[in-house]
Amino acid sequence: MGAGNVYGYVRVSSRDQNEYRQLDAMRSLSILERNIYCDKQSGKDFSRPQYKKLIKRLRREDLLYIKSIDRLGRNYEEIQEQWRRLTKDIGIDIVVIDMPLLDTRRGKDLMGTFLSDIVLQVLSFVAENERVNIRTRQAEGIASAKARGVRFGRPENPVPDNFQEVCKSWFEKELTLREAAEACGMPQSTFYKKAIRLREGFG
């Protein structure tokens, strides 16, 4: 390793996540504050302006710290692509803090490089697989909650006291939809939806 600069890269995947855990890890390594780049991105927006600035600054023999392998990309292919870009094209070293085996300063010979590449492939696959599993568990949890009668979204406005009586009159065609909705002080579409749910036993 030459006398390159040392950098840290931090990314949180949504604006609600707290980046301080990653930042503290970087500061504990005595990385200069100006050399720590931090992106706060949503899942859909992966433009990562700070990462792009970092890439422009990196030079051969620099050293980059990241907290975990999934900070480099959203999926298996992207992590692999960024790793190759950084280590092969630019020629820097990378240290993954959470996985000491991924430290390109070690084992510069063919066997060391081979082992590093194998570990990277396994870990990037695991990182992507975990994200898929999390989404699956979330979907299963929502489906299970709905099956138990848990309702999601904003709570509905309560119906007026005369709602059931007006519905009965509408069901028996004593009132038109417009008249029934007006009697309850509701838009026609809202009255219709709630009345149908009441008739089907969901109200």
- The residues that are catalytic are 13
Q: What is the layout of strands, in order, in the sheet containing 6-12? A: 36-40, 6-12, 63-66, 93-96
**Contact assessment for residue 48 and residue 11, using Cβ atoms and an 8 Å cutoff:** yes
List of long-range contacts for 46-51, beta carbons under 8 Å, 24+ apart: 46/74, 48/11, 50/9, 51/9, 51/11
Return d(Cα 8, Cα 54) in angstroms, integer.
Answer: 9
Return d(Cα 80, Cα 86) in angstroms, integer.
Answer: 10
